[in-house]
Amino acid sequence: MMIRTRIAPSPTGFAHVGTAYTAIFNYAYARKGKGKLVLRLEDTDVKRKVKGAEEAVYAGLSWLGITWDEGPDKGGKFGPYRQSERLEIYKKKADALVRSGDAFEDEGAIRFKNSGSDMEWTDKVRGKISFPGGEVRDFVIMKSDGYPTYNFAVVVDDIEMKITHVIRGEEHISNTPRQLALYKAFGVQPPEFAHLPTLRNAEHKKLSKRGDAVDLGAFRKEGYLPEALVNFLCLLGWSHPDEKEVFGLDEFIKHLSLDRIKKAGPIFDIKKLDWLNGIYIRNKDNKDLAHLVNEHVTNDVSGTSVEEVAPLIKDRVNKLSEANDLLEFFWSAPQVGKELFGDESPRHLASAARVLGEIKNWNLGQVNKKFAGEIKKKKFKTGDFYMSLRIALSGKKITPPINESIVILGQDKVLHRLEEAQKALLEMQPAD
Ligand code: GLU
> Mapping DSSP to helix (H, G, I), strand (E, B) and coil, where does residue 141 land?
strand
State pLDDT tens for residues 46-81: 787 788 999 999 999 999 999 999 999 999 999 999
Using the mean position of ligand 1's atoms as its centre, give its distance from the Cα of residue 248 in Å. Answer: 26
Where is the domain boundary, 309, 330, 351? Answer: 330
In a domain, 238, yes or no: no
Which atom of ligand 1 is nearest the CA belonging to 19?
A: 4
Q: Among 122, 103, 116, 14, which residue's Cα sits nearest to residue 58?
A: 14
Where is the domain boundary, 330, 363, 387? Answer: 330
User: Do 313 and 345 belong to one domain?
Assistant: no
Of all protein residues, the one whose alpha carbon is nearest to atom 3 of ligand 1 is 9
In a domain, 111, yes or no: no
Where is the domain boundary, 330, 362, 387? Answer: 330
In a domain, 317, yes or no: yes
Q: What lines the ligand 1 site, CB under 6 Å?
A: 8-10, 42, 154, 168, 172
CB 276 within 8 A of CB 231: yes
User: Do 361 and 306 belong to one domain?
Assistant: no
State pLDDT tens for residues 5-14: 999 999 988 8
Task: Look at residue 105 and tell me whether its pLDDT is greater than 70.
Answer: yes
Using the mean position of ligand 1's atoms as its centre, give its distance from the Cα of residue 168 in Å. Answer: 7
The helix (H) or strand (E) run that includes residue 17 is helix 17-32
In a domain, 305, yes or no: yes
pLDDT at 210: 83
DSSP 212: S
In a domain, 236, yes or no: no
User: Do 413 and 351 belong to one domain?
Assistant: yes
User: Do 367 and 398 belong to one domain?
Assistant: yes
Number of CB atoms found within 10 A of residue 107's CB: 7
Residues in the chain: 432
User: Do 354 and 325 belong to one domain?
Assistant: no
> Mapping DSSP to helix (H, G, I), strand (E, B) and coil, where does residue 110 land?
strand
**Candidate of 10, 43, 156, 193 to mutate for ligand 1, largest count of ligand atoms within 8 Å of Cβ:** 10
Q: Which of the given ranges, 152-166, 192-206, 323-337, has the highest pLDDT on average?
A: 152-166
Q: pTM for the complete prediction?
A: 0.93
C-alpha distances in angstroms, 179 versus 82, 113, 145, 151, 166?
20, 13, 22, 6, 12
Q: What is the CATH number of the domain that holds 420?
A: 1.10.10.350
Of all protein residues, the one whose alpha carbon is nearest to atom 6 of ligand 1 is 8
pLDDT at 430: 56
Task: Provide long-range contacts, Cβ within 8 A and 24+ apart, for 271-275.
Answer: 272/232, 272/235, 273/224, 273/228, 273/229, 273/232, 274/318, 274/319, 275/318
CB 393 within 8 A of CB 402: yes
State pLDDT tens for residues 122-138: 999 999 999 998 777 89
User: Do 303 and 373 belong to one domain?
Assistant: no
In a domain, 355, yes or no: yes
Domain that holds residue 372: 338-424
The order of strands in the sheet holding 103-106 is 103-106, 109-112, 139-142
Q: Please confirm, yes or no, whether 124 is among the known catalytic residues.
A: no
User: Do 324 and 377 belong to one domain?
Assistant: no
Domain count of the fold of the chain: 2
User: Do 317 and 385 belong to one domain?
Assistant: no
In a domain, 231, yes or no: no
User: Do 367 and 408 belong to one domain?
Assistant: yes
Quote the radius of gyration of the chain (alpha carbons, Å).
30
Which atom of ligand 1 is nearest the CA belonging to 154?
A: 9
In a domain, 311, yes or no: yes
The DSSP string of 292-358 is HHHHH--S---SS-HHHHGGGGTTT-SSGGGHHHHHGGGTS-----GGG--TTHHHHHHHHHHHHHH
User: Do 343 and 392 belong to one domain?
Assistant: yes
Which of 205, 209, 378, 423 is catalytic? The answer is: 209
User: Do 367 and 318 belong to one domain?
Assistant: no
Angstrom distance (rounded) from CA 423 to CA 1: 78
Of all protein residues, the one whose alpha carbon is nearest to atom 4 of ligand 1 is 9
User: Do 302 and 376 belong to one domain?
Assistant: no
